[in-house]
Amino acid sequence: MPIDITVPASPGWWLNRLTHKLEDRRRRYDRLEAYYEGTSTPEILTSKATRAAYQRLMGMARTNFAELVVEAVRERMTVVGFRTGADGDELGDREAWRIWQANALDADSDLVHRDALVMGDAYVIVGGVDDEIGAPVITPEDPRQVITEQDPIRRRKAVAGLKLFHDDIAGLDRAYLYLPGVVYRATRKRRTDSTVYLQGLHGWEWEGADELPFETIPVVRFALRGRKASGEFEPHIPLLNRITDTVLHRMEVATLQAFRQRAIKGVPAFDENGVEIDYEDVFDNDPSSMWLLPESAEIWESGQVDLGPIRQAIRDDIQDLAAVTRTPLFYLTPEAANGSAEGASLAREGLIFKAGDRIKQASEPWEQVLSIAFLIVGDLERSSRRDMEALWAPPERHSLAERADAASKLANLVPWRTIQSTVLQFSPQEVDRMETERAMDAFMRPAQEVANATTNDPPVS
């Protein structure tokens, strides 16, 4: 069935609108991904000599600081459980964690966090119940294939969503348009083998529609920098380019200085008969050759350029990058790891606050994801957004000795389960397991005491 895009708010109108929005931002996302992967080509102006060396040295000049800036935050973002209104256990809801584990989100949630930190946006789609895993299917999505239209008043609420991708097996472009209560499916034949599949709506046809058991759009957006929706390093790309440019110049100078330039001054250009002298044979570099020079000749050799100022400029730029991204310097350069413990603690403080903010921004969309999953299975009590709360591992990790010392000091002031989860930083699953083991130890202790007493009784004469 042909697609009509002329009627406002119709499925065709939404498909056309979201397709163009997705196409408009694709190039930006590809650029940010290239910086994260270390394959970007900075937009720098270079001299003709630099351009000649650029192709040869650029690959070696890249240092992937963008990845370090992202991973310093991403590795501190770990979901450990969820609370819902249906579970009396304050440490977490077991059914929510079962759905999370069934979708391998203990590992794949990192894909969502990484995309959101790199490109500023990430998406998750919640589908129907899969009999194989016994839970709704929750899939992390590439922001270059998925987009939502957010409510202008409630910015975390989606009013429409689209997934657009190429099906290599069927040789088709596929589109899934999510509107309240329904998902529309459209297809078209792939017209080119290139990676660019966003070519307007020419050739698209509706394939069908499926009703949803609720009005909520099952496409959830993760924007960890609020309204900015920018990557962690995106505002600082000029600084990353400056570091790469300076490293490239250092390598060019080092390459040109690898062999010193030599010259001979004060030799005649013509012999006594007025014939131009060919010095290519005279100044042979063969080890057995001997040069016969006139008394006025002087041999000159170029000196070595001091690379110290260039290296210092690179270090200064790296320090600036650490400051503006709130990334501890020892993440970016190993020599900074030799500083004082107090200095390292202060350097980590900015990163911890930043990670805490990103965790706060990611909590709401993960809670939306689990709420939709419970709506799909018909569990209205657990799907309540008012009682849903995501639980995270603390972004600041203390040593076991520090945690044990704090636990011993709080033993008579704080409930033991709170100490286990908050002070000792065990996950809800670990706390449950330890509670079971404690109960087993208490059950076995009387029998063990009897056995020990029997073993220690004196022999009967």
| Helices within 62-93 (DSSP H only) | 65-74
Compute φ and ψ for 259, nearest 5 degrees: -125, 120
The DSSP bridge partners found for residue 263 are 300
- Return the pLDDT at 300: 76
> Is the Cβ–Cβ distance between 296 and 254 less than 8 Å?
no
> Is the Cβ–Cβ distance between 347 and 330 less than 8 Å?
yes
- Return the pLDDT at 342: 55
- Return the pLDDT at 461: 52
The C-alpha torsion from 201 through 115 and 127 to 155, rounded to 10°, is -80
- Return the pLDDT at 196: 40
- Return the pLDDT at 17: 92
Sign of CA dihedral 384, 386, 387, 389: positive
Q: 365-420 pLDDT, tens per residue?
A: 999 999 999 999 988 888 888 888 898 988 887 777 777 777 777 777 777 777 77
- Domain residue ranges in the chain: 1-47+64-236+341-394, 398-449
Compute φ and ψ for 174, nearest 5 degrees: -125, 145
- Return the pLDDT at 197: 43
CA nearest neighbour of 365 among 114, 125, 91, 142 = 125
Q: What is the pTM of this model?
A: 0.78
Residue type, 132: E
Measure the CA–CA gap between 125 and 164, rounded to whole angstroms: 13
Measure the CA–CA gap between 305 and 274, rounded to whole angstroms: 40
Structure tokens belonging to residue 233: 């390093």
The crossing angle, in degrees rounded to 10, of helices 94-102 and 105-119 is 70
- Return the pLDDT at 55: 61
CA nearest neighbour of 265 among 295, 305, 304, 287 = 295
Structure tokens belonging to residue 115: 């995309």
- Return the pLDDT at 144: 94
Measure the CA–CA gap between 111 and 108, rounded to whole angstroms: 5
Q: In what order do the strands lie in the sheet with 205-211?
A: 146-150, 158-167, 172-179, 182-189, 205-211
| 10-residue mean pLDDT series, the chain (461 residues) | 78 92 92 88 54 63 87 92 74 84 94 95 94 94 94 90 90 92 90 47 83 92 84 91 84 72 77 78 71 75 76 87 87 66 68 91 94 91 86 82 75 74 70 73 67 61 52
- Return the pLDDT at 453: 65
Residues 6+ apart with CB under 8 A from 110: 74, 77
- Name the residue with tokens 């599949």: 197
- Return the pLDDT at 71: 93
- Return the pLDDT at 456: 59
> Is the Cβ–Cβ distance between 336 and 330 less than 8 Å?
yes
